[in-house]
A and B are shown apart, each in its own frame.
Chain A
Amino acid sequence: MSKLSTFGHDLYEGRVSFDFVGRRKLWYTISTIVMVLAIAGVFVRGFSFGIEFDGGVEFTAQVETNNSATVEAMTQAVVDADVPEAGDPIATTSGDSAVRIQTAALSPDQAATIEEALTKAGATEVSQNLVGPSWGEQVAKKALTGLIVFLILVVLFIWAYFREWRMSVAGIVALAHDLVITAGVYAWSGFEVTPATVTGLLTILGYSLYDTVVVFDKVRENTKGVLRSNSRTYVEQANLAVNQTLVRSINTSITALLPVGALLFVGVFVLGTGPLKDLALALFVGMAVGTYSSIFVATPIAAQLKSYEPAVKAHTAKVLERRAKGPVVETAHETRPSRPVITSGAAGRTQPKRTARSKRGKGR
């Protein structure tokens, strides 16, 4: 552990540095390949939608002993209930004391008939979830509207907070990246897509952006005044920001994934199926991808876009030129910290600007 923490210090000082921004082509390539695979998955395999999207009835029968014989008995009970509308029931075990049976869309009366049949077949308690055919469509429609509203607000928020449209663009690209890849994971793995999955997906948006904002905040701090100094380029400062927040990103991802992992574990092994599993799965995949994208996608894009700006371009050229001319300066710079160094030492550097002002203000 202590190795990891000094690793944090090395990252901070720039002694250990991963070139996240500079090797962006590599990350872009990786992300593009993964996204293409994901999109291909969506088109080739499609999603396996839960009954919420097609309409249907899901019965959950509590049983004393849960084995294939019980499942068989329950299935037979549904077939024998003489409700032809039920179609071919699909029965699976769910957790250690429940059998899940899915049928086609039924009327409440027909559902009641089947419920009765299941009780007769030995179920101690029958729960049912009857879903009309328009339900899922509605969920999807609402989710789509929510998505669009969210994206618009995100663009506005980032722009208002960072005063930088490039960061808005980068944030949106990162969001799209996360969504596409999560969708791809669902398509390829064949996990069931339910309204809970859609909720999870929308939550990922918030989380992914949350992560991006934290990194961007550091980028903004590091690049403040970068154009006035000749020691570092914008891209270098942005990259340093990613490195400096790397420990936080790792820690955050772990602390966020741990509870979601617990949720997923309980959802799968205790409850079997249901909204808990669907939600946790979408969150788990999306959060992992979200952390990746804020480091490997969002910041490189923001830095790249910014580096096209004439002022930044000129500045970068100047810094590089200066560096090429003066090797002495360069060696000094290699070990320099993130911010421009003022030689007067100690706390005099940037402190008066940030700390003391507010304190003095309050004191008087």
Chain B
Amino acid sequence: MARSSSRTVSKARRTLLLFMALVVALFALVALTGLSNDKGESTWKPRLGLDLQGGTRITLQAEATSGDVTDEKLSQARDIIDQRVNATGVSEAEVTTQGGNQVIIEVPGEDRGGIVDEVGRTAQLRFRLLWASTNGGGAAPADPAATQKTIDDADWSKLTLDQMIAAETQGLTTLPANLADAATALQAQATAFACTPEAVGKVADVSSKPLVTCDVKTGEVMVLSPTIIEGNQIKSADAVIPQGNVTWVVALALRGDGTKVFDKVTEALYAQELAGSDQTSRFAIVLDGEVLSAPTTNGHFTNGKSQISGGFTAETSKALANQLRYGALPLTFEVNGVSVEGPSLAGSQLHAGIIAGLIGLVLVVVYCLLYYRGLGLVVIGSLLVAGLTTYGAVLLLGKGMGFTLTLPGIAGLIVAIGITADSFIVLFERIRDEVREGKSLRLAVESGWERARSTILAADAVSFMAAVILFIFAIGVVRGFAFALGLTTLIDVVVVFLFTKPLVSLLARTKFFGQGHRLSGFDAKHLGIGDRKVTEIGRTTGGKA
């Protein structure tokens, strides 16, 4: 007996030491990651989510019509959007994918709702031939809907590249007979087209069909061919000043099929330019129905490399290069949500979360003290230790994995107070049950623990499972809630095993608890075991009344 009890004590001490070492190691690790962090973020403060520090969060969702949404396409889109966001000068923004079909852009700080316009241009970039151009603004066709129908109903899919080039170089009349009506309709539409940003915004840019749109900068209305080169054929686009030159140009490089088509197109169009017909040597680069640029062709480019020139400044050439480079997303996106949290709203939310946490903690502590008296101190100690560990884990995960604390995350931590306290309650109740069964307190602690252990593990496993599932299937910020819940469940297990249980084992040997002091929570009267002292073993096991 004596030997086994001293073994229990030394084991309990060792476990407590191990736990303290773990906590110290955790914080040492946090300090270590803090040293390598040069962003000027505070090491000892958790990374706060947008709802707690203010910022803009944009959810873009891939449209179902844009083909199969694969993970590869989505992460490609994520990279492009990330580059676009960075290109706007916002460096601290985070762009992530979510739920298999969404891209989330998070920009902390001041209201950056306007960023939607810049990065939300999720449109497709396309090269088209310029069939005809007018000034627009003329009389509308008698029946605009019928005109549009004629264009839509025509079968453009059979049109070859040669035929499209011929339509530019020799006029729309060279189009096959079955498209003649549609060609007329296109011209009628162009004549009536009023070149305003609103009108351009309404243009339906369909790759396989011709298009009537305009360049809002010049007001030129154009009839464009079906797409000849898709934007994803662009290998690179850079704003440069060529050697020996003084003006900015956009250097463009195409890849694969794009190179071949460009070779053929520029051969034909350059011939037009040489012949002195600038107008019929032009092609257009169109982003979501809007003409970005409609240059003339001044060379035959066989290797896909070319330059777009013409009155660019450093800024306009960079903007065009960016649009060319990042313009082509593999998917089309719609803006599914924009949330802008102002800093003072965010501040009050953080404040409220902390207040709620403190109130919750105090209430639980008071209740435990009232009911469990001395043992309540163990609950307080364990909760504080669990809180400390959680804080360390949040810091570490913030640095290591980019985990940010959000309002739902704080809610998760607060809810976890109750679940953590429950583990202690299960343990205490089991110990008391064992005492009631006639065991001395010291024995009861050990045997009660053995029974409580499996219950705590099973219950925490369920709780953890729920948190994991919630994390997988939750959308948006509520994932923070699930994460916090799962994290605290794990910490709960660690604290109960490595802190609370050894502590109770040791306390059971102190005079205050072990002798069943009136305020210890283990007193005979409190437990209702009559005259027997908690240090004694019940003579008749429970058989007595």
Contacts and interface: CB of A to CB of B under 8 A. Distances in A.
Contact of B411 (A205, A218, A263, A341): A263
A149 B341 contact: no
A261 B362 CA distance: 12
Q: How large is the interface on B (under 10, 10 to 19, 20 to 34, 35 or more residues)?
A: 35 or more
Nearest to B424: A255
A279 B480 CA distance: 13
A129 B542 contact: no
Contacts of B341: 127
A354 B447 contact: yes
B120 A355 contact: no
Nearest to A158: B462
B528 to A, nearest CB: 3
Contacts of A26: none
Question: Which 5 interchain pairs have the tightest Cβ spacing?
Answer: A206-B466, A259-B360, A9-B528, A146-B473, A256-B418
Contacts of A341: 541-543
A10 B263 CA distance: 93
Contacts of B459: 210, 213-214, 217
Contacts of B340: 115, 126-129
Given A1-B371, A276-B352, A6 B342 contact: no
B455 A217 contact: yes
A142 B473 contact: yes
Contact of B541 (A213, A271, A337, A359): A337
Interface in B353-373: 353, 355-357, 359-361, 363-364, 367-368, 370-371
A276 B517 CA distance: 42
A37 to B, nearest CB: 27
A267 B342 CA distance: 18
Interface string B111-128: 101101100100000000
Contacts of A276: 349, 352-353, 356, 407-408, 411
Interface string A246-284: 011001101111111111011100110011100110010
Nearest to A4: B371
Contacts of B527: 5-6, 9
A248 B426 contact: yes
Contact of B473 (A9, A127, A143, A254): A143
A12 interface: yes
A262 to B, nearest CB: 4
Interface in B439-463: 439, 443, 446-447, 450-451, 454-455, 458-463
Interface residues of A, number: 102
Contacts of A347: 438-439, 443, 537, 541
Interface in A59-93: 60, 62
Interface stretch (A105-113, A296-304, A320-328): A105-113
B545 A134 contact: no
A164 interface: no
B474 A130 contact: no
Interface string B378-419: 000000000000000000000000000001100100110111
Interface of B: 4, 7, 59, 61, 99, 111, 113-114, 116-117, 120, 334-345, 348-349, 351-353, 355-357, 359-361, 363-364, 367-368, 370-371, 407-408, 411, 414-415, 417-419, 421-422, 425-426, 429, 432-433, 436-439, 443, 446-447, 450-451, 454-455, 458-463, 465-467, 469-470, 472-478, 481-482, 485, 525-529, 537-543, 545
B371 A150 contact: no
A15 interface: yes
Contacts of B450: 354-355, 358
Contact of B446 (A248, A266, A355): A355
Nearest to B416: A259
The secondary structure that dominates the A interface is: helix
Contact of B469 (A146, A280, A355): A146
Nearest to B370: A1
11 contacts: A12-B433, A108-B120, A127-B340, A207-B466, A209-B462, A252-B421, A255-B364, A260-B360, A275-B411, A341-B541, A349-B541
Interface stretch (A17-25, A181-189, A195-203): A195-203
Interface in A139-167: 139, 142-143, 145-146, 149-150, 153-154, 157, 161
Contact of A195 (B353, B370, B478): B478
Contacts of B485: 203, 206
A13 B4 CA distance: 30
B396 to A, nearest CB: 24
A274 B452 CA distance: 38
A351 interface: yes
Contacts of B432: 8
Name which of A115, A206, A260 has the most chain B CB atoms within 10 A of its CB. A206
